[in-house]
Amino acid sequence: MIGATYALASILVFVTAALLILVGAVGVITLKNPVHSALSLIMTLFGVAVAFVAQGADFLAAVEIIVYAGAIVVLFLFVIMFLGVDRKEHVHVEPLVGQRAFAAVGVVVTVGGLITLMARSHWVTGAMSVSTKGVALASGQDNVKQLGTAVFTTYLFAFEATAVLLVIAVVGAVLLARRERALQSEEVEVEA
Amino acid sequence: MNQLLASSDPLFAHGVNGVVLLIVLVKVLVGFGALMGSVVIMIWFERKAISDMQSRIGPQRWGPFGLLQTLADGLKLIGKEDLVPAEADRFVFKLAPYLVLIPALITFALIPIGGTLHIAGHAVMLQVANPPMGILLMLAMSGVSVYGVMLAGWSSGSKYPLLSSVRASAQMISYEAALGMTIVTIILATGSLSTHNIVTAQGGGIWHWNIIRLGVIPFVVFLIAITAELNRPPFDVVEAESELVGGFHTEYSSFRFAVFFLAEFMNTITMSAIIVTLFLGGPAGWIPNVAHLKWVFPIIWFVLKTTGFAFAYVWFRAALPRFRYDQLMDLGWKRLIPLSLGWMLVVAGFLIAPAWGFLMAAAVFMAWTLLTRAFTLGQSREVGSEAVLPVVGERPIPGRTIRKFTDGES
């Protein structure tokens, strides 16, 4: 059945991508060393990029690597290195009471929701794209054009809202960082 | 899948068969061999040129003009003891050199070094691969190569390499933004992301080269940003000997050090070639009317232009003192990113209509004035508790509570 619909090459690509994603994702939560976790997160991101290419979304694949693997995880590592990974972790301490139970409920709800969606809705129909109303994504140059049109016409408000959100986050971060310094200098004066 | 391949490379237009596979294999091998050969020559060239500039002789013992010095050094390195520090994270320590090498190899595969040949009815492009997202792949690879440097420094389990890797990550991310902006300018003018199309769009003579067509600013920004991306002098704070011993590869020896060394020179050549591809028309140039040999001249032009930039890098190293770390960050964030962003907007405006172009130029000028004012205000700001914003209310979680979680009971 599957072999009739998809070529062998596509199946191989899919299996490779899926393995990269799953092994990486499991590694992120099971590995003890945070740097190793970050490395396996990169593996997951590469798997997602391969999956994007297989779906014809070349541009998203490239951006996935540039933005997530090339910048965001680098910043994760940056922070991990500054905080020091050699410090002893208190995994048994629960900052929120009963967070493990909440986490378990969250996992069940998310996985259940995803399975229900896959089983019932027509969102996952095997069509190449949702935003182009089922038309397959064009390759190369036209791929960018399709994405640009979608982002700057159909989903303009969502796009602008995201931009505003990011600006707010940056301003907030700067504000918090500065407030921290005021607190520190006051503490120093008190101690002196 | 076949359609996807054929859209970017005419070689796959009639499907994939044995001959096509053979051609691809030969292209990969020739590309790899050419890169390796040019790395050997580049290392010799850099040492020779630097020693000339410093009134020294340089390598001269092995082979004519010391040409075999690199091979001798390589053999010596491989023969040395392979050390892994006791404090090192062994897996990451062994992985890091290859994380630098592989992006360097992939980036070179994207560069068109000549026109299109016709062999046995197949159109063969003289570039190893021409993916539809070519130039974005180059950006992605330069982003990924940060990991090699970062993880090498961190996994060594030693102070100075760690400092170096923190510097490297900050520096490479900062300059990637300016790099991306200038590439966007080129993509806007070309209308395509593949390196092949970027080169063919500049084919109509020297006035069509991006260096002139886009104004010289993107070229200058790109040259500075890519030098910083390469961690080459004057932006080599990552391996500043006077501050950091040897930088991120202090603890590496033997073959792994050789891999770092190789990747560094490989990147120098590749980035020179990228500049030529993006701004100087790649293999474009005057072609004399010689039968059967017309395909050779684009390659000669390409090699000549690339050599020019490779020499410029050596020259930078001999002539310019190293930037201080804060100067480097200032240049990246306060000068190059606003400049490249503004220039990108102006170019985009002129691509639509001259009126929009002038409007954009006016807007960019106003923004520039505002930004300059902000920078001067920021620099004259006095650092201290009065200069920063007053505390508004309590923080959500008191500092003492947070510290209890992070530092344990105290």
Classify residue B402: in a domain, yes or no. no
* Distance separating the N- and C-terminal Cα atoms of chain A: 77
**Per-residue pLDDT tens digits for A14-48:** 899 999 999 999 999 888 888 888 889 999 999 99
CA distance B164 to chain A (A): 12
A190 in B contact zone (CB under 8 Å): no
Dihedrals φ, ψ of B124, to 5°?
A: -110, 115
pLDDT band at A164; cut points 50, 70, 90: very high
pLDDT band at A162; cut points 50, 70, 90: very high
Domain A1-89 is found in CATH 3.30.2130.30: no
Structure tokens at A4: 């009739």
- On chain B, the residues whose CB falls within 8 A of the CB of A145 are none
pLDDT at A100 over 70: yes
pLDDT at B268 over 60: yes
Q: How does A117-138 read in b/e, with b if 16+ C-beta sit within 10 Å? A: eeeeeeeeeeeebeebeeeebb
Q: For A81, which of B1, B166, B385 is closest by C-beta distance?
A: B166
- On chain A, the residues whose CB falls within 8 A of the CB of B132 are 58, 139-141, 143
Classify residue B394: in a domain, yes or no. no
A147 in B contact zone (CB under 8 Å): no
The separation between CA B105 and the C-alpha centre of its own chain, rounded to angstroms, equals: 12
pLDDT at B256 over 60: yes
* pLDDT value of residue A44: 93
Dihedral sign (CA B105, B106, B112, B117): positive
- On chain B, the residues whose CB falls within 8 A of the CB of A71 are 143, 173, 176
pLDDT at A188 over 80: no
> In chain B, what percentage of residues exceed pLDDT 90?
6
* DSSP character string of chain A: -HHHHS-HHHHHHHHHHHHHHHHHHHHHHH-SSHHHHHHHHHHHHHHHHHHHHHTT-HHHHHHIIIIIIIIIHHHHHHHHHHH-SSSPP-TT--SSTTHHHHHHHHHHHHHHHHHHHHHH-SS-SS-S-TTTTTPPPPPTHHHHHHHHHIIIIITHHHHHHHHHHHHHHHHHHHHHHHHHHHHHHHHHHHH-
Cα–Cα distance measured from residue B376 to residue B360, given in angstroms and rounded to the nearest whole number: 24
Q: How many CB atoms sit inside 10 A of residue B333's CB? A: 14
Peptide bond into B234 cis (omega under 30): yes
**Per-residue pLDDT tens digits for B193-227:** 888 888 888 887 778 888 888 888 889 999 999 98
Inter-chain touch B169–A141, beta carbons under 8 Å: no
Of the residues B173, B388, B394, B402, the best mutation for testing chain A's interface (the one with the most A CB atoms within 10 Å of its CB) is B388
Classify residue B60: in a domain, yes or no. yes
Classify residue B24: in a domain, yes or no. yes
pLDDT band at B89; cut points 50, 70, 90: confident
Q: For B1, which of A10, A59, A69 is closest by C-beta distance?
A: A10
Inter-chain touch A56–B137, beta carbons under 8 Å: no
Give the mean model confidence (pLDDT) for residues B126-154: 84
Q: For A7, which of B1, B147, B388 is closest by C-beta distance?
A: B1
pLDDT band at B15; cut points 50, 70, 90: low
Q: State which residues form the domain around B128.
A: 2-377
Give the mean model confidence (pLDDT) for residues B374-401: 65
Q: Which of A89-98, B11-20, B38-47 is least confident?
A: A89-98
CA distance A78 to chain B (A): 6
Tally of structural domains, chain B: 1
A36 in B contact zone (CB under 8 Å): yes
- On chain B, the residues whose CB falls within 8 A of the CB of A90 are 405, 408
Give the mean model confidence (pLDDT) for residues A108-133: 68
pLDDT at A1 over 60: no
pLDDT band at A112; cut points 50, 70, 90: very high
Q: Which of B73-82, B112-121, B322-331 is least confident?
A: B112-121
Classify residue B389: in a domain, yes or no. no
Query: 């684009």: which residue's tokens?
Result: B298
Give the mean model confidence (pLDDT) for residues B385-396: 57
Across B54-138, where does the E strand assignment appear? Answer: 116-119, 122-125
* pLDDT value of residue A19: 93
The domains of chain A are located at 1-89
The mean predicted confidence, pLDDT, of chain A is 77
Inter-chain touch A178–B388, beta carbons under 8 Å: yes
Closest residue of A to B153, CA-based?
A81
Inter-chain touch A33–B89, beta carbons under 8 Å: yes
CA distance B275 to chain A (A): 19
Inter-chain touch B151–A70, beta carbons under 8 Å: no
pLDDT at B336 over 70: yes
* pLDDT value of residue A10: 80
pLDDT band at A192; cut points 50, 70, 90: very low
Q: Which residues pair with B125 in a beta bridge?
A: B116
pLDDT at A128 over 50: no
A88 in B contact zone (CB under 8 Å): yes
Q: For B389, which of A33, A58, A178 is closest by C-beta distance?
A: A178
- On chain A, the residues whose CB falls within 8 A of the CB of B99 are none
* pLDDT value of residue A181: 47
CA distance B236 to chain A (A): 19
Give the mean model confidence (pLDDT) for residues B319-323: 85
Residues 6 or more apart whose Cβ sits within 8 Å of residue A5: none
Dihedral sign (CA B117, B119, B121, B125): negative
The mean predicted confidence, pLDDT, of chain B is 82
ipTM: 0.76
Q: For A179, which of B131, B193, B389 is closest by C-beta distance?
A: B389
Closest residue of B to A175, CA-based?
B389
